[in-house]
Structure 1
Amino acid sequence: MRVFIYSAHPYEQPFLEKEACQHEIVYTNQRLSLETASRAAGFEAIAIFTADDASAPVLEKLAAVGVRYIALRSVGHDHVDLAKAQALGIHIANVPEYSPYAVAEHAVAMLMVLNRKITESRLLLQLQDYRLDLLTGFDVHGKIVGIVGTGKIGMAFASIMHGFGAHILAFDPVQNPDASALQISYVPFDTLLQQSDIISIHCPLNEHTKYLFSWTAFNNMKPECILINTARGGVIHTKALLHALENDCISGACLDVYEHEKGIFFQDLRGQTMHDTLYTRLLALKKVLITGHQAFLTREALTGIARTTMQTIACWESGSPVPSELTTTIHQPLYSIK
């Protein structure tokens, strides 16, 4: 089968080629949009990424040019109108899991870089300033770590924090049966906010989690709390976060995702003026560490994404059930990213 791949990045192409098997792959680095949907003419199957637009108008255009299957190269599907896809007869499947350790380990890495002032230390060393006065961090051991969403990524993060000797609280309407082995205590959301020294977000973006962290949430958090988000940008209300940071309501934020990242992340914008003032304000704060949606970027994760993407297309082509199809029974998981 011929497969048209939108938002194809050089880092993933070798992995996709290796797993392509009988598929003929055609790439474009362009994102899927109303303007680019016509490029899929002649292809029954396409593959898209998180920055692509699969809203109702775009899906209608894809259906009109003959697209019948969309493989998501991601777990999250908040960029896809699943109800519209089902109405149009377009089948959609995601990658329900690849390497939960990739995202969990990146969250931990960001926490330690921010906490132990690694970025500031490197800059001071380059200036030959070897004083330690501005580099004090804290022990993670003994701290209370709150985890929002205890699917596979959240549990991988919890396991690492357990190894650090942290006490772990969790909020998720669906309790993970493996949580007891890590001595995880499930608590109401407000309790998690009030007691946690570190909070890490591992939930999908949907109607239940949009702006879960907003003005009220930040007012309930400890002033010394560090917030980590490697899930979806829209779980955090950016204006509320900036207010909390600038007024010392919390002590720091590690962000691998950003509410308005489309149009910024995954692109080369060197030499261009950045017009997003919220993003530039975040970037200017020393108490904020930002990475460009790269938490998933390990060889193991890229292999898993490519393999599952190609396998789901092969299943659909052969008429076999696709285990990760999202348009068979439309559902929205509340918090757990599985």
Structure 2
Amino acid sequence: MEILAFGVQADEKPLLERACADREHRVRCLDVFLNGDTAPLAAGHEVITVSVNARLDERVLRVLADGGTRMIAQRATGFNNISLDTAAELGLTVARVSSYSPYSVAEFAWTLAMAVNRRVARAVRRTREFDFRLDGLMGRDMHGRTAGVIGTGRIGEAFTRIAHGFGMRLLGWDVRENPACTALGMTYTELPELFAAADLVSLHVPLMPETHHLVGRDALRRMKDDALLVNSSRGGLVDTEALVEELRAGRPAGVGLDVYEAEEGLFFHDRSLDVVTDDTLARLMTFSNVLVTSHQAYYTREAVGQIIGTTVNNIEDYLAGRTSENVLVRPGEPSSSGPG
């Protein structure tokens, strides 16, 4: 069988080709992402695999179904980009990668936190021009300060373990407590208290209607003026307009974003020669205390290898008529209720 893969990165391509070949499948890798314009390319392919920034709304899913696609394997954990009800209506099978290395994202979240705290981006820009002054580069010790971890699943737990290693006080919020985090000394609290007390707030929850703009104007104004905010989960968790407004007022002290709520069509692309039409993102980039990266937290050899391995297993399960915890929609069954 030939599998069509959308949105394949150059580093990812040989791993995906090798994994498919090991199962005696051919894979045709495209660097374009799945959306309304590219969906017709899938015609004649029963199975496709897509990246995290694919658009799988009703229009795209109908084009896929009309072209003969019956199975969609998403190479990501979150699935807020998929109209599951439409997929169920069309009789499509949809699967995701329910888990992969939590250390990839947790470690990168800390990379952002420390880079912002210690003004690394500013320092690098200076030293490339042989400016070795220290003015404006003063950071703070993390030891003894308070980490507020919003979402304490596998990634949040890994982030918490690193915070514990720094010797930080631990505050957490989640719909259910993680005993491993509690054993590290974490105190669970309500969100208003966490925002008010934390020196560092890191987001590790899925995007769903209940968490959309979880960090909005009220939350940002509760935060300490010298606090740090890190988002390596989903862009829609943060109200970017409200964040820009607070940054213009001189707070919070630093922000690290690996995701952005309007990243579709921007992230994973080279837009260096284009006119930037996203005024909010353009304004965000003007702040010297803001560091934006391109949704790369998951992008380690270990994590990508696990994502590809699970994706191929999901395809094998579909071909064999098997199911697993990764399946979101199967023909004849109701769709999953929400993203995880």
Task: Tell me which interval the TM-score lies in, with the shorter structure as reference length.
Answer: over 0.9
> What is the aligned partner in structure 1 of residue 10 from structure 2?
10
Query: How many angstroms apart in 2 are the aligned matches of 1:155 and 1:179?
Result: 6
Name the TM-score, length of structure 1 as normaliser: 0.96
How far 1:113 sits from its partner (Å)? 1.0
Instruction: State the SS of the aligned residue for 2:122.
Output: helix
CA contact (8 A) 1:145 1:198 kept: yes
Asked if residue 100 in structure 1 is aligned to residue 106 in structure 2, the reply is: no
CA contact (8 A) 1:211 1:237 kept: yes
Deviations 1:140-165 (A, max 9, x none): 11111101111111111111111010
Query: How many angstroms apart in 1 are the aligned matches of 2:98 and 2:301?
Result: 17
Asked if residue 189 in structure 1 is aligned to residue 163 in structure 2, the reply is: no
Query: How many angstroms apart in 1 are the aligned matches of 2:179 and 2:70?
Result: 37
Query: How many angstroms apart in 2 are the aligned matches of 1:144 and 1:332?
Result: 31
Gaps of 5+ in 2: none
29-38 or 241-250, which deviates more = 29-38
CA contact (8 A) 2:142 2:167 kept: yes
> What is the aligned partner in structure 2 of residue 73 from structure 1?
75
Query: How many angstroms apart in 2 are the aligned matches of 1:294 and 1:249?
Result: 26
Asked if residue 296 in structure 1 is aligned to residue 302 in structure 2, the reply is: no
108-117 or 323-332, which deviates more = 323-332
Q: Residue 165 of structure 1 aligns to which amino acid in structure 2?
A: G
Query: How many angstroms apart in 2 are the aligned matches of 1:120 and 1:35?
Result: 39
Counterparts of residues 15-164 of structure 1 (less than 5 Å): 15-20=15-20, 21-164=23-166
Gaps of 5+ in 1: none
CA contact (8 A) 2:74 2:94 kept: yes
Query: How many angstroms apart in 2 are the aligned matches of 1:249 and 1:120?
Result: 18
Query: How many angstroms apart in 1 are the aligned matches of 2:32 and 2:164?
Result: 42
Q: Residue 7 of structure 1 aligns to which amino acid in structure 2?
A: G
Query: How many angstroms apart in 2 are the aligned matches of 1:44 and 1:175?
Result: 41
Flag as ranges the 4+ runs of structure 1 deviating above 2 A: 122-131
One of 310, 320, 336 as aligned partner of 1:330 = 336
Q: Residue 332 of structure 1 aligns to which amino acid in structure 2?
A: G
How far 1:276 sits from its partner (Å)? 1.0
CA contact (8 A) 1:230 1:257 kept: yes
How far 1:60 sits from its partner (Å)? 1.3
Q: Residue 201 of structure 2 aligns to which amino acid in structure 1?
A: I
How far 1:252 sits from its partner (Å)? 1.4
Deviations 1:220-240 (A, max 9, x none): 111111100000111111100
Q: Residue 325 of structure 1 aligns to which amino acid in structure 2?
A: V
One of 217, 220, 234 as aligned partner of 2:219 = 217
Q: Residue 239 of structure 1 aligns to which amino acid in structure 2?
A: E
How far 1:44 sits from its partner (Å)? 1.2
> What is the aligned partner in structure 2 of residue 204 from structure 1?
206
How far 1:258 sits from its partner (Å)? 0.6
Asked if residue 180 in structure 1 is aligned to residue 162 in structure 2, the reply is: no
How far 1:124 sits from its partner (Å)? 2.6
CA contact (8 A) 1:158 1:168 kept: yes
318-327 or 124-133, which deviates more = 124-133
Instruction: State the SS of the aligned residue for 1:50.
Output: coil
Instruction: State the SS of the aligned residue for 1:131.
Output: coil
Instruction: State the SS of the aligned residue for 1:178.
Output: helix
Instruction: State the SS of the aligned residue for 1:192.
Output: helix
Counterparts of residues 201-280 of structure 1 (less than 5 Å): 201-280=203-282
How far 1:325 sits from its partner (Å)? 0.6
CA RMSD of aligned residues (A): 1.3
Instruction: State the SS of the aligned residue for 2:48.
Output: strand
CA contact (8 A) 1:316 1:322 kept: no
Aligned residues: 334
Instruction: State the SS of the aligned residue for 1:111.
Output: helix
CA contact (8 A) 2:71 2:92 kept: yes
Query: How many angstroms apart in 2 are the aligned matches of 1:105 and 1:227?
Result: 15
> What is the aligned partner in structure 1 of residue 314 from structure 2?
312
Instruction: State the SS of the aligned residue for 2:218.
Output: helix
Query: How many angstroms apart in 1 are the aligned matches of 2:35 and 2:76?
Result: 18
Q: Residue 337 of structure 2 aligns to which amino acid in structure 1?
A: H
Query: How many angstroms apart in 1 are the aligned matches of 2:25 and 2:260?
Result: 34
Deviations 1:177-223 (A, max 9, x none): 32222111110011111100000001111101111111111111111
Query: How many angstroms apart in 2 are the aligned matches of 1:131 and 1:37?
Result: 52
Q: Residue 295 of structure 2 aligns to which amino acid in structure 1?
A: H
CA contact (8 A) 2:17 2:26 kept: no
Query: How many angstroms apart in 1 are the aligned matches of 2:139 and 2:251?
Result: 18
Query: How many angstroms apart in 2 are the aligned matches of 1:22 and 1:104?
Result: 35
